């Protein structure tokens, strides 16, 4: 028979928990002089302190409080966050400790100004976070940019702090100065950086001189964009030199003359000799550059090519001299029937082959006829000789 040891009798009335000591906290419920089983106490941290764990503890059967006693630590917030448009007031910049319920103030960053409503204040809350800042800051505005003579100003985005404007000149002008300006800080306001650029007219150096010629405005040192000069050849010897090329050039947008200057050359073309033709316009004793002659074929002749020729800079006529053919010798112009060159070629080949075949047939027929005539003639002569011979024989016999 099994025997059981008798356990001592347990009584909850004997449970005793010590009075809890919680620094920087006060009991707000269940406080007493002694604590027995299942007694509870609720604590609250003193002002400026934050509860780290549970605020409620219970006396358990083992004479201990459960859970562990609460802890209240000195409450504070981390350094306030940074904003794009505002910053901490100088008073708070170097501070490292911000207790609960403490406040900080902000100021607008340089280039910014306070908006109409709200304050730039934030408070360290009991949960260790900062309250929202009700106020705000906005960018300051630069003055409207000045206009640019002979140019234009382009506002790339707006005229607020940090923005840019861009300058450009009209054609024929070049920009002197910076093409871009920035809206930047100047003291407690914002202004456009640098100075307004200038659009200066583009200029060209004097154009080249030419041999045996001259140009207008030869005494000028500079020529503005778009200005022209005119060239001419030396006129001391009449009609000796001809101007080859354009007689005017102009100063372009790059500060260069738009093309090479012309030349003054002594151009002489020989008197053209065109057989069976007469000049009807431009005929003379000598011919210089760009002189023209128009020809006409004599009666009974037809012009093959152009009837107009021009004396060119290389002392030759252009295009080639005209040619007049006698009317009968000129092959008639084929009228276009819509036939291609290939079809025409096939037709010609066919005709040629047909003519060759016909010629061969005719030739053979003629040869056959000639052969028959020769045979008949030979036979006739042979028979005649036989007859004559027999007659002679008969005659000789009769005489005897």
Tokens 């549970």, residue? 54
Q: What confidence tier does 237 reach under pLDDT thresholds 50, 70, 90?
A: low
Helix (H, G, I), strand (E, B) or coil at 327: helix
Q: What whole-number distance in Å separates Cα of residue 181 and Cα of residue 322? A: 70
Q: What confidence tier does 363 reach under pLDDT thresholds 50, 70, 90?
A: confident
- Prediction pTM value: 0.53
Contact status, residue 213 vs residue 240, Cβ threshold 8 Å: no
In the prediction, which pLDDT does 53 show?
82
pLDDT mean over 33-60: 90
In the prediction, which pLDDT does 341 show?
60
Query: Is residue 374 predicted with pLDDT exceeding 90?
Result: no
Lowest mean pLDDT among 70-79, 104-113, 259-268, 318-327: 70-79
Q: DSSP string of 21-48?
A: --TTEEEEES--S-B-TT-EEEEEEPTT
Rg of the Cα atoms in the chain:
63
In the prediction, which pLDDT does 304 show?
87
Query: Is residue 161 predicted with pLDDT exceeding 50?
Result: yes
In the prediction, which pLDDT does 390 show?
38
Positive/negative CA dihedral, 383, 386, 391, 394: negative
Contact status, residue 169 vs residue 199, Cβ threshold 8 Å: yes
pLDDT, greater one: 396 or 56: 56
Could you tell me what percent of the chain has a pLDDT over 90?
A: 59
319 cis-preceded (ω within 30 degrees of 0): yes
pLDDT mean over 325-348: 63
Strand partners, 399: none
Lowest mean pLDDT among 154-158, 192-196, 256-260, 331-335: 331-335
Q: What confidence tier does 144 reach under pLDDT thresholds 50, 70, 90?
A: very high
For the chain, the average pLDDT equals: 85
Distance of CA 214 to the CA centre of its chain: 43
Q: Which domains does the chain have, with CATH numbers?
A: 16-74 (2.10.70.10), 78-139 (2.10.70.10), 151-199 (2.10.70.10), 203-265 (2.10.70.10), 277-326 (2.10.70.10)
Query: Is residue 44 predicted with pLDDT exceeding 70?
Result: yes
Give the tens place of pLDDT for each residue, 1-32.
455 555 455 567 789 999 999 999 999 999 88
Q: What whole-number distance in Å separates Cα of residue 230 and Cα of residue 217? A: 9
How many CB atoms sit inside 10 A of residue 228's CB? 16
Please, what is the Cα angle at 257 between 253 and 262, to 5 degrees? Answer: 150
Contact status, residue 352 vs residue 359, Cβ threshold 8 Å: no
In the prediction, which pLDDT does 329 show?
59
Contact status, residue 230 vs residue 248, Cβ threshold 8 Å: yes
Return contacts of 328-337, CB within 8 angstroms, 24+ apart: 330/302, 330/304
In the prediction, which pLDDT does 76 show?
87
Cα-Cα-Cα-Cα torsion 279, 283, 287, 291, nearest 10 degrees, comes to -80
pLDDT mean over 235-261: 88
Contact status, residue 175 vs residue 168, Cβ threshold 8 Å: yes
pLDDT mean over 244-270: 93
Highest mean pLDDT among 75-89, 93-107, 146-160, 379-393: 146-160
Can you read off the two tokens belonging to residue 344? 């025409």
pLDDT mean over 255-283: 92
Highest mean pLDDT among 70-79, 154-163, 336-345: 154-163
Q: What whole-number distance in Å separates Cα of residue 166 and Cα of residue 154? A: 5
């Amino acid at each position: 028979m099994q025997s059981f040891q008798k356990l001592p009798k347990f009584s909850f009335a004997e449970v005793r928990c010590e009075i809890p000591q919680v620094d920087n906290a006060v009991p707000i419920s269940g406080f007493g002089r002694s604590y027995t089983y299942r007694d509870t106490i609720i604590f609250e941290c003193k002002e400026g302190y934050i509860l780290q764990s549970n605020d409620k503890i219970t006396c358990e059967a083992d004479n201990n409080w459960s859970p562990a006693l609460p802890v209240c630590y000195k409450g504070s917030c981390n350094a306030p966050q940074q904003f794009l448009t505002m910053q901490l007031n100088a008073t708070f910049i170097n501070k490292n400790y911000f207790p609960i319920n403490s406040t900080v103030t902000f100021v607008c960053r340089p280039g910014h100004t306070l908006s109409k409503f709200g304050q730039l204040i934030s408070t360290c809350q009991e949960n260790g976070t900062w309250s929202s800042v009700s106020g705000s800051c906005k960018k300051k505005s630069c003055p409207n940019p000045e206009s640019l003579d002979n140019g234009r100003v382009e506002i790339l985005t707006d005229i607020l702090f940090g923005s840019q404007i861009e300058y450009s000149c009209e054609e024929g002008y070049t920009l002197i100065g910076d093409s871009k300006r920035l809206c930047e800080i100047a003291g407690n306001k914002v202004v456009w950086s640098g100075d307004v650029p200038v659009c200066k007219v583009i200029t060209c150096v004097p154009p080249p001189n030419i041999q045996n010629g001259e140009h207008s405005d030869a005494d000028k040192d500079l020529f503005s964009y778009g200005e022209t000069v005119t060239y001419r050849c030396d006129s001391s010897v009449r009609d000796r030199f001809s101007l080859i090329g354009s007689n005017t050039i102009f100063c372009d947008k790059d500060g260069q003359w738009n093309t090479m200057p012309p030349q003054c050359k002594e151009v002489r073309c020989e008197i053209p000799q065109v057989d069976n033709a007469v000049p009807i316009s431009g005929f003379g004793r000598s011919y210089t550059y760009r002189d023209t002659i128009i020809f006409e074929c004599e009666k009974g002749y037809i012009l093959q090519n152009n009837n107009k020729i021009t004396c060119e800079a290389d002392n030759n006529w252009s295009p080639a001299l005209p040619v007049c053919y006698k009317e009968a010798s000129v092959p008639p112009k084929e009228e276009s029937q819509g036939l291609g060159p290939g079809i025409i070629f096939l037709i010609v080949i066919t005709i040629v082959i047909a003519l060759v075949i016909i010629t061969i047939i005719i030739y053979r027929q003629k040869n056959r006829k000639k052969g028959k005539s020769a045979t008949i003639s030979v036979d006739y002569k042979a028979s005649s000789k036989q007859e004559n011979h027999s007659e002679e024989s008969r005659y000789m016999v009769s005489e005897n």
